[in-house]
Structure 1
Amino acid sequence: MRVLAEFIMRGRMQAGLVVVGCAALPLLFWLSAAAGSLVLLRRGLGDAFGIVALALLPGAVWWYFGEPRTLLLLLGTLGLAQLLRSSVSWRLVLMSSVLVGLAYALVLEEVFRAPIEAMAGELRQLMPQLLQSATPLSADEQTRLGALLVPVLTGMLAALLQIVSLLALVLGRYWQSLLYNPGGFAREFRALRLPGPWALALLAGMLLAPSMGIRMAMLAPLCSVPLVFAGIALIHGLVAQGRLGRFWLVGLYVTLLLFMQLTYPLLMVLAIVDSLIDFRGRQTPKGGSGAANGEG
């Protein structure tokens, strides 16, 4: 990874080759977003504008052929990268990712309406079997639950793209720290903690959005993403302080991959409790700059 980061930052031609080439290839658009973030974070939008503009061209071509996710991911990730460069605040980035995810959802709702509705139709047919062991629902409740399927599925697809955007930005920030300020990103991420009101607002969005309107239900998955990232940062922070063993990190990512339906909500709960209690305490990291940009 360091070799690739050094190649990207060697010059405009090298950066453009990686950014445009990865955006043009299937399944590598996340790497294009990470490379573009690295250039933007280090050089600023003014110097990186030409490279960023080149990256959008393959995304526009993909959208023309019915695949908008490449362009959406590039725009969303680069927007979050600019916010991170100007604010140096991962908390603002995480909260802003909800708005980015909402933009994703509105676009995906239009472009992928047919396949999403088909998937929702199949789930509606399975609902009687899925609800057999649960408390019986009235006909009105079943109708409302069925109506929520389309926006919830749309929100889940957008949340997945939101997660990829944040991961691409994390990779770009990690590269920047690796090249110009070793250890800076680790300090940033381990210190990440959402304020109590922000975490409670996200929780309210998850629980209350469906009752505010059927289309608003797409907000529920989007509001969960910042909490999960904050929960992961909490585990990393506790391990760095020596309060947890390093095997907890291995267990975290293994269980997140194998048992996501259990680990995902657990991370959200940990993030909410941490926002109110602050498990890591108010300790200031010793030595070095807290920022990963290497610019002081």
Structure 2
Amino acid sequence: MRGLAEFIMRGRWQALAVAVLGSVLVIAAPMSAAAIALVTMAQGMRNGTWVALWALLPALLLGWVSGDYGTGFLLLSVYVGAVVLAQTLSLSLALIAIIPVSAVGGFVLLTFNTAFLEAMLSMLDAWIAALQSESPETGDSLSALRPTANQVAGLMATGNAFLASLSLLLGRYWQSALFKPGAFGEEFRALKLPGALTALLVLVAMAGALSGSETAAWSALAGIPVTLAGFGLFHHIAKRQQLGGTFLTIGYVLWVIVDGLKVGVLLAVLLDAFLDLGRRVKPK
């Protein structure tokens, strides 16, 4: 990872090579986005904008051909987050800035590119039909859970926001590794959202989850920066208590497989925003 970051920072064309590679190969898109974030934060908005624009061109061209503009919105979301971080030096504001860009991307997809959504749903229907022929009970269960085009757009917007946030964090980690080792860990463990904004984001996420799956797909966007702040709090407590990497690994695995923990993380961040509970944990 450090070697890739050093290659990106060697010059404008090296950075562009990595950025364009990710815009062409979907699997490498997060790396491309992280490269844009690194250049924007380390070399300024002018160089970052140059790299971002040239990387967006092939991504938009492929989107015009295939109908999938996901990579383009990923690159744009990370670029916006990196600009905010470079200008404000606030990781929390940078993560929050990604949310409206991702939401706009989802609405654009739903409004102007329904053909792509319908194509995805057609592929899902074909897969469900194949399962029904082999196992009617399993197929019927999946058919009942079939999402609508609105839900798919919301899920794609949420997925974009989450992936963009991770790419921004990767770019910030690279910047720290190259210029100030250890700074990223301190910054991430100190990640904290403003109290009133935390309450609003948690309220939106919880209300959407309780109101039904149509709304939940979109309201999950509000929970992403709160969740990442929860991860920062988790790392802070682990550091203070000297719990080690195994504890963190188990915690992340449980968060993935236990839905109740996702809600628990949101509530923990909400309490911490007002009561500073995590920072009161005494070091071991």
- Tell whether the structures are fold-level matches, with TM greater than 0.5: yes
Answer whether contact 1:33 1:77 (CA < 8 A) is retained.
yes
**For 1:79 and 1:19, how far apart are their aligned partners in 2?**
15
Structure 1 residue 114 and structure 2 residue 105: aligned? no
> Once superposed, what is the RMSD of the aligned Cα atoms?
3.3
Q: CA deviation at 1:15?
A: 1.1
Answer whether contact 1:152 1:221 (CA < 8 A) is retained.
no
- Looking at secondary structure, tell me which structure has more helix per residue: 2
CA 1:271–1:27 in structure 2 vs 1: closer, same or farther (change >3 Å)? same
Deviations 1:126-149 (A, max 9, x none): 9xx87xxxxxxxxxxxxxx99x95
Q: Which is bigger in relative contact order (C-alpha 8 A, separation at least 6)?
A: 1
Q: CA deviation at 1:94?
A: 2.6
Q: CA deviation at 1:214?
A: 10
- The residue correspondences of 1:1-296 to structure 2 (distance < 5 A) are 1-65=1-65, 66-109=67-110, 110-111=112-113, 112-115=116-119, 150-208=149-207, 218-242=217-241, 244-257=243-256, 259=257, 261-281=259-279
Q: CA deviation at 1:178?
A: 0.2
**For 1:215 and 1:246, how far apart are their aligned partners in 2?**
37
Q: CA deviation at 1:75?
A: 0.7
Q: CA deviation at 1:276?
A: 2.5
CA 1:27–1:280 in structure 2 vs 1: closer, same or farther (change >3 Å)? same
Q: SS in structure 2 opposite 1:27? A: helix
CA 1:203–1:150 in structure 2 vs 1: closer, same or farther (change >3 Å)? farther
Answer whether contact 2:40 2:83 (CA < 8 A) is retained.
yes
Answer whether contact 1:205 1:219 (CA < 8 A) is retained.
no
Deviations 1:9-56 (A, max 9, x none): 011121111111221123111111111111111011113332222111
**For 1:280 and 1:214, how far apart are their aligned partners in 2?**
32
Report the number of matched residues. 268
**For 2:43 and 2:20, how far apart are their aligned partners in 1?**
18
For structure 1, the 5+ residue unaligned runs are 131-144, 284-296
For structure 2, the 5+ residue unaligned runs are 129-136
Deviations 1:180-226 (A, max 9, x none): 01111111110011232111101221244589999865531111111
CA 1:95–1:48 in structure 2 vs 1: closer, same or farther (change >3 Å)? closer
Answer whether contact 1:35 1:172 (CA < 8 A) is retained.
yes
**Identity between Structure 1 and Structure 2 (%):** 31
Deviations 1:60-91 (A, max 9, x none): 11111112011111111101110011111122
**For 2:265 and 2:106, how far apart are their aligned partners in 1?**
23
- TM-score, length-scaled by structure 2: 0.81
Q: CA deviation at 1:246?
A: 4.0
CA 1:246–1:214 in structure 2 vs 1: closer, same or farther (change >3 Å)? closer
**For 1:179 and 1:235, how far apart are their aligned partners in 2?**
25
